[in-house]
Structure 1
């Protein structure tokens, strides 16, 4: 009688472990394309991602690079002081989007150009995404906001 209970207990434990491993594998598989990591222009230049990979690019909009074309396509460059990436975006930019301001874009890096599908800009004069601020501090480009 004792060996039957022992076998049953081992079987339940094994089934639970297999179910847990299967659930973990399915969660990881489901999230593989849904996780977007922030990258600075220097990181993208050093290790260019695949053209099919969607990721987030962040930095400062380079001064003098903003070009509004004939259509809806807008071109500009994003820099972190160590590198610069040309960006194209089709759509309406956020109201607070401007040169020398922090931004993060979501999209793909194709043939040396970041094709953005979404652009996020700062929301007030003191805000900058933490990842962008950290990357700019590493490059020596970050200037503290003045509080009057």
Structure 2
């Protein structure tokens, strides 16, 4: 084999190793990615059970129910549609009805969102960007208004 042929073979082998490495990284990240959606996005669609979602919206007034010591259920709404959420774990101190929330988890076969992570806004001026964008798209966001307070 000539010098040029060996160099070409080395470049080809390095390219194959790089392609395999990129493929393994993408494969391993595939199971951990969660897509952001509002209740309207999840309720009206056929969702695959076990697919991870990041659900954002407002905790509906009067929907919070406490089960056992660490389990709660509540309804998340985007003022258009609502979805029931069940969460078992430590609830953030600032979590309450009427406030913005982001929950990560899966939708079960009954259409209930089983959350394994719950995030609440940290003060009255903050709302997760995805939730704010969804509210703006539906016309429920006013700059400086009830949901769009500026610091």
Does TM, scored on the shorter chain, surpass 0.5?
yes
The yes-or-no answer on 1:135 pairing with 2:134 is yes
Counterpart Cα distance in 1 of 2:105 and 2:148: 29
Contact 1:96–1:121 under 8 Å retained in 2: yes
Structure-1 residue corresponding to 2:91:
93
Q: CA deviation at 1:116?
A: 0.9
Counterpart Cα distance in 2 of 1:48 and 1:39: 13
Contact 1:81–1:140 under 8 Å retained in 2: no
Q: CA deviation at 1:54?
A: 2.1
Q: CA deviation at 1:70?
A: 5.0
Moved more, 123-132 or 42-51: 42-51
Moved more, 48-57 or 26-35: 48-57
Counterpart Cα distance in 2 of 1:14 and 1:102: 52
The yes-or-no answer on 1:20 pairing with 2:24 is no
* Residue-by-residue CA offset, 1:12-37 (whole Å, 9 max, x unaligned): 11111111111110000110111122
Contact 1:73–1:88 under 8 Å retained in 2: yes
Any stretches of 5+ residues in structure 2 without a counterpart? Answer: 142-146
Residue among 67, 77, 81 paired with 1:83:
81
* Residue-by-residue CA offset, 1:15-64 (whole Å, 9 max, x unaligned): 11111111110000110111122111111113242221222111111111
The yes-or-no answer on 1:124 pairing with 2:123 is yes
TM-score normalised by structure 1 residue count = 0.90
Moved more, 60-69 or 114-123: 60-69
Counterpart Cα distance in 2 of 1:138 and 1:119: 23
TM-score normalised by structure 2 residue count = 0.88
The yes-or-no answer on 1:145 pairing with 2:149 is yes
Any stretches of 5+ residues in structure 1 without a counterpart? Answer: none
Q: CA deviation at 1:91?
A: 2.3
Counterpart Cα distance in 1 of 2:134 and 2:125: 17
> Residue 75 of structure 2 aligns to a residue in which SS?
strand
Structure-2 residue corresponding to 1:32:
30
Counterpart Cα distance in 2 of 1:106 and 1:70: 20
Counterpart Cα distance in 2 of 1:123 and 1:26: 37
Change (3 A) 1:81 1:109: same
Q: Considering only aligned residues, what root-mean-square deviation do their CA atoms show, in Å? A: 1.6
